[in-house]
Amino acid sequence: MGAPLLARDSEPTIFEFSVPGRHAASFRTTNLPSWTAEELVPEGFLQSDPVALPEVSERDLVAHFTRLTHRQYSVDLGAYPLGSCTMKYNPKAADAGASLPGFTQVHPAAPVNCAQGWLELLVELEETLCAITGMHAATLQPAAGAAGELTGLLLMHAYHDANGESDRRRRVIIPDSAHGTNPASVTLSGYEVVTVGTNARGGVDLDALRGLLDDDVAGMMLTNPSTLGLFEEDIVEIAEAVHNVGGLLYYDGANLNAILGIVRPGDMGFDIVHLNVHKTFATPHGGGGPGAGPVAVSARLAPFLPGPRPTRDGAGYELTTPERSIGRVHSWHGNAVVLLRAWMYLRLNGGDGLKRASEIAVLNANWFNERVRGAYDIAFDRPVMHECVVSAKSLHDEVGLSALDVAKRLMELGFHPPTVYFPLIVEEALMVEPTETESPQTLSALADAFLQVARESREAGNADEAKAAPRTTPVRRVDDVRAARKLVVTFDQRRPD
């Protein structure tokens, strides 16, 4: 078996390396009686055959997974300008902190006097998040942004329940530019989704919103800056209008990286805020998770927070559950080790560092937006915040170059593509979020790559070069129709054509 290094050959699955009788595991010597399976498991329960896991040596195991890593792009390798995802550099100090046995070896049900360090850290984190968002209290339990959304919407329910208004308040308003998790969370929370449109400047259509607001509205979810990368200029009016009908305002914190130390959701009038620490506070995305999605709330919602929650008790710390808590939203205390990484990031930055991070994130996005202007369409021509949405619409009309083609050609030029086709309201959308951790040199190279893709297609009068891309990646464009039609989602479903 060869060891393809970023070569085009596919890497066999771990199952194809399996040889009966091979073995890597080893365990402690326990000196316990060697009762047999038959002696330990009552008849009828015992399996006849062991589970068919791969039988590989440690050496082959390492080689296989290392080769897989060579077929994978990552932040550590280079810019990863996915809009809405905040793929900033993940400090190595947090890796070291996250592997300290003094934290990792604490059992989540250990009595609080065995976890004082953990509880102190989590309380400090909660206080820090409240200071950043301008909120009163927070739960750290939700495991990601979407989990935070659902938690926040259940808090909304609890609040209206307590006021005896839950029967009447059935609808939650979201903008048409919202991320898909927002409407999905609203449905799962038992509310009905009402969509409000976007005005010519990329903001919420205030008149349309006023038309929708009534005393049957439970609240509104908003991302600010929006998924268009624009600050919602009418936020004060929006908050007032929602509050006037007795609704609550929910802040989707996916874009908080634009405004750290500049403006706080609490000051804008938000009642419930979720944060994505895997975006804003640099905890690594792990190929799709784990993240953490703390939810911070104003004082009137604090009595409903999930429990148990780490709290200060004189000089010590304990776990308490608010009297009217909505209950647990995680098996334990949330993705604690992810939260520890966020705590470190916040301490490494301090208040000033966070503000500077936002300033540079916004500087980078505006600079990039300006550099690619002309080659790409600008969806809404306004100063952007930490990300910009440009469009390949003209290119598509002129030479047939789609946003997807741009994405694939960028790979050949050495960059991970931006987010494509989101938000849904912009045709051929390319959503670019450089983050503050890309240097001016990297940013310039990224802009050059964008310009090259547009230029070469226009010069050739067609998008053939881009349509053939990528040719330098471990695999080329993949057939996703086939993946769905001839469904093979486990090795056991593989069959010859």
Partner 1 sequence: MSAPFVAHTDAEIAEMLAFLGLEDLDGLFKEIPESLRLAGGLDLPPAMSEPDVAWRLDELASRNKPCGRDLVCFAGAGSYDHEIPAVVKAIASRSEFVTAYTPYQPEVSQGVLQAIFEYQTMIARLSGLEVANGSLYDGAAALVEAVNLAAVATGHRRVLCSEGVNPHWRQQLKTFSRGSGNEIETVPLSGGVTSWDEVDDEGPFGAVVVAAPNFVGCLEDIARARVVADGFGARLVVCFDPVSAGLLRSPGSLGADLVVGEGQPFGMAMGFGGPYLGLFACRLADVRRLPGRIVGETLDVEGRHAYVMTLRAREQDIRRERASSNVCTNQTLMAVTAAVQLSWLGPKGLREMALGCARATRYTREALCSIDGVQLLTSAPVLREFAVRTPVAPETLVERLVEDGYLAGVPIREGFEGTAYDGGLLVAATERRTRAEIDGYAAAFEKAIR
Amino acid identity of residue 492, one-letter, is D
Cα–Cα–Cα angle for 251, 198, 252, nearest 5°? 15
Dihedrals phi, psi of 198, to nearest 5 degrees = -110, 140
User: Which residue is listed with tokens 């608010």?
Assistant: 322
252 binds ligand PLP (CB under 6 A): yes
- According to the binding rule CB under 6 A, does residue 151 interact with ligand PLP? no
- Which tokens go with 380? 């809404």
Residue nearest to ligand PLP (CB): 145
Name which of partner 1, ligand PLP, none residue 61 binds, using a CB cut-off of 5 to 8 Å depending on partner kind.
partner 1
CA pair distance 285, 346, nearest whole angstrom: 17
373 binds, among ligand PLP, partner 1, none (CB under 5 to 8 A by kind): none
If one asks whether residue 145 binds ligand PLP (CB under 6 A), the answer comes out as: yes
189 binds, among ligand PLP, partner 1, none (CB under 5 to 8 A by kind): partner 1
Question: Rounded to an integer, what distance in angstroms lies between the CA atom of residue 345 and that of residue 281?
Answer: 6
Q: In the set 122, 154, 186, 254, which binds ligand PLP (CB under 6 A)?
A: 254
* Residue 476 binds which of ligand PLP, partner 1, none (CB < 5-8 A, kind-dependent): partner 1
Amino acid at 50: P
By beta-carbon proximity to ligand PLP, the closer residue of 368 and 422 is 422
Q: Of these partners, partner 1, ligand PLP, none, which one is at the site of residue 227 (CB under 5 to 8 Å by kind)?
A: ligand PLP
Strands 309-313 and 316-320: what pairing?
A: antiparallel
Within 161-220, the residues that bind ligand PLP by CB under 6 A are 179, 181
Q: What track of x and - describes contact with ligand PLP for positions 285 through 304 (by CB under 6 A)?
A: ------x-x-----------
One-letter amino acid of 380 = F
Task: Look up residue 486 and give its two tokens.
Answer: 């001839």
Which region holds residue 119: left if phi is over 0, alpha if psi is between -120 and 50, else beta? alpha
Residue that is written with structure tokens 């936002």 in the block: 358
The count of chain residues that interact with ligand PLP, using the rule CB under 6 A, is 14
Q: Say whether residue 119 binds ligand PLP (CB under 6 A).
A: no
Window of 142-150, 256-264, 336-344, 376-384 that interacts with ligand PLP by CB under 6 A: 142-150
Pairing of strands 429-432, 388-391: antiparallel
Residues sharing a CB contact under 8 Å with residue 143, sequence separation 6 or more, in sequence order? 289, 290, 291, 292, 293, 330, 334, 335
84: contact with ligand PLP by CB under 6 A: yes
Among 276, 335, 391, 402, binds ligand PLP (CB under 6 A): 276
- Interface contacts to ligand PLP, rule CB under 6 A: 84-85, 144-146, 179, 181, 223, 227, 252, 254, 276, 291, 293
